[in-house]
Amino acid sequence: MSILTHPSVPSALKHKRATATVFADPLSQALLSRIEQIAPSDANALIIGDTGTGKELVARQIHQLSHRTKGPFIAVNCGAFTESLVESELFGHEKGAFTGAINSRVGWFEAAHNGTLFLDEIGDLSLSMQVKLLRVLQEREIVRVGSLKPIPINVRIIAATNVDLEHAVQDGRFREDLFYRLHVALLRIPRLAERRADILPLVKHFIQVYQTNPHETPLRLSQLALKKLSLHSWPGNIRELENTIQHAILVSQNGVIEPEDISFSGIQTASYASRIEPFNIHKATSALSNIQNIQDAGQLLEQTFLQIFQAADQLKQDNINELIEEKFIRSAYQHCQYNQVHTARLLGVTRNVIRTRLIKYGLL
């Protein structure tokens, strides 16, 4: 397990989670290896991941491991500015450039000179701003609003998005040439539900961060509470886990977090909801009720897997075999009331096989 802290993170950050990155799960360790590969270069990077997976954390990690670590790290949310202000925010402006510009102002590109500029939600930029950003990436210089003088910049760009930019390119919502400029080094961040071995280290980190009295004995999780956390689907990813633990700390008693202290929101993120929308519980129930023999069950399984593979192609899901195996074993474990022996007997494997998988998935 690896927990890396980022001392350069400003204290003004709203989310305390942005001070540590956890790489305990095999998928996270593979991501860390990828980070270590691309960090020393100056290549532009594109980070793809659902909301709350920690895209800014990964960007900061790339910066910390690069030769730019002594330079500034500037994080900008491209969706936070209106169309009329975004150019001024990114490139700066001269005095009198527009109504209200009473002074000259340095933009985020200049502020990140000799460092790293993290452009979050890059897919929210308008097509006109995409053209201007492309020119900056090509020419390595910016022009402030209201000026004709180009200013050279030395900035590494790390962009991030939770939308499918390839589909956005096909739909004409994102420029293809800009996409390839940003796509030099690609990192995909798995959802928290796919890297469950990260859950317990993250829980311990959040307990340490949010336990108000540092002299108190650190809160501990009961086994049932840990199991409840491990089995949750986490549509809100790390951000949801952070808020869940913060709430559990507030309501817990006697120094122990119990299952009743853990409350999950019924809200699903848009990206998560779109992933599960094709599944219809009524159709599934109807199909199950029509099973008469093992042949019917086999046909139902075949149809189910075909749907899974079609969804995997559409979502560009990697490691589909590992994903299916994990869901399969988790479901069997839950069906057997969390009994390893019964699960092994049901699946026709040894208990050691089941135990190894449960440890890998963070259930033990």
- 306 has pLDDT over 50: yes
Token representation of residue 87: 């150019």
Q: Is the pLDDT of residue 307 over 80?
A: no
Report CA 260 to chain centroid distance, whole Å. Answer: 27
Q: How many CB atoms lie within 10 A of CB 217?
A: 8
Q: Which amino acid is at 150?
A: P
Task: Name 231's Cβ contacts closer than 8 Å, sequence gap at least 6.
Answer: 330, 334, 363
Helices (H), the chain: 26-38, 55-64, 83-91, 108-111, 127-139, 165-170, 176-182, 199-210, 223-231, 237-251, 270-276, 281-289, 294-315, 320-335, 340-347, 351-360
In whole angstroms, how far apart are CA 92 and each of 88, 148, 294?
A: 5, 12, 68
Nearest-CA neighbor of 32 among 40, 41, 21, 20?
21
Q: What is the pLDDT of residues 17-73, one digit of tens each?
A: 445 578 888 889 999 999 999 999 999 999 999 999 999 999 999 999 999 999 999
310 neighbors 279 (Cβ within 8 angstroms): no
* Sequential DSSP letters for 257-297: E-GGG----S---HHHHHHHTT--HHHHHHHHHT--SHHHH
- Per-residue CA distances from 228 to 13, 43, 125, 208 (Å): 30, 41, 39, 20
pTM to 2 decimal places: 0.69
Class of domain 278-361: mainly alpha
| pLDDT tens-digit readout, 87-110 | 899 999 898 878 777 888 899 999
Query: Hey, where are the domains in the chain?
Result: 26-190, 193-269, 278-361
What is the rounded average pLDDT for all residues in the chain?
A: 82
**What is the average pLDDT across 190-216?**
87
CATH fold of 26-190: Rossmann fold (3.40.50)
Four-way CATH pick for 193-269: 2.40.160.20, 3.30.9.10, 1.10.10.10, 1.10.8.60 = 1.10.8.60
